[in-house]
Amino acid sequence: MKRLFGILIAALLAVSLAVPAAADVLWEPEDSFYRSHADECEILQRSFYTNGEAGYVNFYAAPESSTVTGQLENGNQIYLYWQYQDWGYLEGDVTGWVALGDLQLIYDYLSFQEEYGEQFLPYDGETYAPLLDGWTGDTLALWPYPGAAQAQYVWQDAGDAMADLKEYGFSSIFVDEEGLTWGFCAYLYGERNFWVCLDAPAGRDDPAVTGGEVEIPVRQVEQPELTPAQEPEMPALAWLPFTLGVVIAVGAVWLVTRKYWTKPRKKL
């Protein structure tokens, strides 16, 4: 009976790890173009640098629209959740659709998979979980790819997360050039698509690292050359609705003035 109860608890925990991942997919923007083309949109969830030929990037009310909703100079980092054909949707301080051709992809977990995926190994708890037994403290560093210059997120009070990772969380293993073992997790407690260094789970701040027992070298990845940033200029078409509005308003005022304020002619 106890054994059966343990199996049920394990199954429920495994399901609980999978359900939030599906729930996150349900986030949808309150955007008119998205609502009318939702079936044609795909989840993107990748980061980019703005990199327009003019030194800045325009964001539009809809793909192929002439209505500019915002602008950013080159070099700004943005995160796009949804994609429609060759356009991505950004929501935040600047909201709108941007041409993917005006962006530079930031090296991430998918870039790493494309380069090293053939070396990935399946996770085996009996083999790899003991590497995590030396984890002390409560800090867990999550990396966008093994050897990244900066952590994707540093988890505090990560005891429960670590226990779940050891049991269920890793889907792939990668052993780097220095012999360090890394585990990949697609989703856990709201964090998605990250790597953990099993030899130094707390990252480069791990006492084992600073003590010289383990060193996590920075992986050298190709850095894109961005077009120099320029102050944005609003396209001429973007001013058209405003200009037409002014012309119409001035014309209406002129007509009203002409009708009610015309001086009567003197009789001869």
pLDDT on residue 63:
97
Cβ count near 155 (within 10 Å): 22
pLDDT, one tens digit per residue, over 120-154 is 999 998 899 888 887 877 889 999 999 999 999 99
pLDDT on residue 58:
97
Q: Does position 12 have pLDDT exceeding 50, yes or no?
A: no
Q: Does position 6 have pLDDT exceeding 50, yes or no?
A: no
212 or 244: which leads in pLDDT: 212
Range scoring the smallest mean pLDDT among 145-159, 193-207, 254-268:
254-268
What is the mean predicted confidence (pLDDT) over 52-67?
Answer: 96
Q: In the CATH scheme, what is the homologous superfamily, with its name and number, of domain 28-106+226-244?
A: SH3 Domains (2.30.30.40)
Cβ count near 127 (within 10 Å): 12
The domain ranges of the chain are 28-106+226-244, 110-210
Range scoring the smallest mean pLDDT among 94-98, 104-108, 124-128, 134-138:
134-138
Residue that is written with structure tokens 């220095």 in the block: 178
Residue that is written with structure tokens 């090296």 in the block: 107
pLDDT, one tens digit per residue, over 213-227 is 688 999 999 888 999
Torsion of CA 41, 45, 51, 52, to 10 degrees: 10
Three-state helix/strand/coil letters over the chain: CHHHHHHHHHHHHHHHHHHHHHHHCCCCCCCHHHHHCHHHCEEEEEEEEECCCCCEEEEECCCCCCCEEEEEECCCEEEEEEEECCEEEECCCCCEEEEHHHEEECCCHHHHHHHHHHHCEECCHHHHHHHHHHCCCCCEEEECCCCCCCCCEEECCCHHHHHHHHHHHCCEEEECCCCCEEEEEEEECCEEEEEEECCCCCHHHCHHHHCCCCCCCCCCCCCCCCCCCCCCCCCHHHHHHHHHHHHHHHHHHHHHHHHHCCCCCCCC
Mean per-residue pLDDT of the chain:
82
Q: Does position 16 have pLDDT exceeding 80, yes or no?
A: no
pLDDT on residue 215:
86
Specify the pTM.
0.74
pLDDT on residue 201:
92
Check if the beta carbon of residue 27 is closer than 8 Å to that of residue 197: no
Among 4, 70, 103, residue whose Cα is nearest residue 234: 70
pLDDT on residue 19:
40
Which one of 1-15, 37-51, 133-147 scores highest in mean pLDDT?
A: 37-51
128 or 168: which leads in pLDDT: 128
Q: Is the dihedral of CA 168, 187, 123, 134 positive or negative?
A: negative
